[in-house]
A and B are shown apart, each in its own frame.
Chain A
Amino acid sequence: MDGGNVNVIDHLLPGKGVHPEYRKEATSGRSIERFPLPGVVHLPVAQNLGAPSKLKVKRGEEVLTGQVIAEAGGYVSAPIHATVSGKVSKITQDVHFASGKPVDVVLIDSDGRDQWVELKKASLKDLSTDDILKRIWDGGLVGMGGATFPTHVKLKPPADKPIDTLIVNGAECEPWITSDHRMMLEYGREIVSGIEVMRKLVPATVIFAIEGNKPDAIEKMSELASSSRAGKHVEVVAVPTRYPMGGEKTLVQHLLDREVPIGGLPLDVGVVVQNVSTVKAIHDAVIEGRPLVERAVTVAGMVERPGNFMVRFGTPARALIDHCGGPAIGANEVIFGGPMMGISQCSFDSPVIKGTNCILVKRNTKRPERGCIRCARCISHCPMDLMPTMYVQFAKAKRWESCGEYFIDDCIECGSCSYSCPASIPIVQYIKLAKAELRKVRSK
């Protein structure tokens, strides 16, 4: 039960990745509080990986909570729903929080009544697999661990790729974040129900992976899983507390000793990985008929009262940060996601969207970049066995193709290299640049 001991052992185990300071204790004891409805929600029309959604509402239209405001823009896409009831006050264009590209944003003025569309509950045994997939798609489900890959795509593997393992990802390896941890403690039943739904689509063995620093969640999920119908197919496994254990690829490697091929997906090696919050959302969408309009968000870092909140999408970060006692003096960076892979925001008003698991307020402490001393720490910490320092060298020389030859496409941008670089080189930044430039070169 002692998380501290687990950490010590993990430090001694050989392995790639890094051991950042976890600092989860700030919020791990805070239950998920329902966050008050915001007056206005800002809903970007691209909240998933793949094709952006297609706008369906007009200015001035009255909408209900859960009403579709944008349809899926293709198969690898998901619809977006109104997260409050009220009136569409404006449709504007803004900068997408992650890609930096312009995106349509729907502003809905809340009427404060939160009137829902009619929800169609269902019982799992009455639903065919197509019904289930349709309900998941209609529910606007995407991977809520941060990557926002549309969920229905993952759960309909092509016939030539048999799936033998379903991994439920409760590792939550990023420091500070505890939203998934709290979800497991507070919505365990819904998660188990979501596992049952998934097993109807993909009848495979389920491995429920939780990092060893969350013993209470391990205990709780083992208990709930064993008493459920899917019980005998579910194994709850404590994985080492080592970043980036929660990464899809690292998890597949650790649990099954399989490697997802470069450029491939876990289903290429017979695995489907779903984040715990997504699994809970699967239950909501399939059983309750409730579309995805909210998620658990950890607010942490330089705020007075950090905590976990169930937040409607479109709620501006500022509302949450103010609710938690505002940014502390000296804070100058707001990050959506964790400190290792999170994206720093250029405005306090960036809205919470489907992939936002954490709002981290911090002070930028980055040190100036120095020259590489070839210490090779980036190489020895790289979970993908790459040579990150070479990308820096190539990027400086604009040798983008050379980056490709050194397998830059395999990089998951976990940040272990920059984290461990004594010269404070922002290696991930160079890698992102090189990847973008390489794409341009290849598309020529």
Chain B
Amino acid sequence: MSKKRTLVILILVVGILLSLVGGAAARQEKPKFFLIAHGGPGNVFWVTVMKGMADAAAFLDVDATWLGADTASNEAMVGFWDDALAADPDGIGTTEPVPALIEDAVKRAAAAGIPVIAFNTQDTRPEGERLPHWFYIGTSEFIAGQAVARGLLAAKPDIATVLCPIQEVGHIGLEARCNGVESIMAEQGIPVVRFTITYNLSESAGLIGDAFAANPDANAIVTLGPGPAESFYAYASENNVTPDQVIHATFDTSPAIFAAIADGRSLLCVDQQPYVQGFETVVWLFLGSQYLLKPANDIFTGPNIVDASNVGRVIELNQAGYR
């Protein structure tokens, strides 16, 4: 009896694994690219990047695989990099949230002549010390932060204190966003309070509430991603906080953010155009690996501001998966 059960389970396992391979086995002659990131399918932001990647791969008839932890992990990138190099890729796109972790692997890729393009988050060290990537496709976090701050000040000149919750401790890109906001606010003498939250929606809503309690004069908040924005909406609706009391701007996009902009709960969001990051990374990996073409400079995919004036059209595009 127990032997039969073992057999059934073994057949199940082999069957599932075989079907995974079945999908993979068909594609072997095409150029093979990997996009390695510090996040994956558990995060709406990355889903849009992944759609861009998949669309470009289908368009160019190449193989592109996404390698990243379900929600967020910098450390997981180390193993993915080694695995990707072992698969003899034609090119690799990578995010660079903690450059030291992948430094060794990126250098091995460079030594082997494999094109490496940084996307979404780049090593901010000066050229020479920086990871040897070809160029960067993504937003300038600092400039985006400045754009958010200018937008906030234009809409509400009497800002007293700005809250800036950070959801991924140690992420240089998120810090750069806060720095950009701070650089403009500092000109007006407005303090920016940073604190740490998590990817857990309700836990973060509580933490945001705590921060408002600790800073009673805070009347503006800048969230650094869709998850934190939702946490703020949860906090605001539970505590009846109106847009007059606290003005909200956020980085990145999501249906909830667009809805909030449409009904006035949020002032604006900066779109770093994640779809473009996935799409263009594959396109340039293709052009680079096949024809040795590359642009002269980094390619900035943002900031592109979404506010009440254009949110209607953006909502349609969001439903189609492009924004």
Same complex for A and B? Answer no
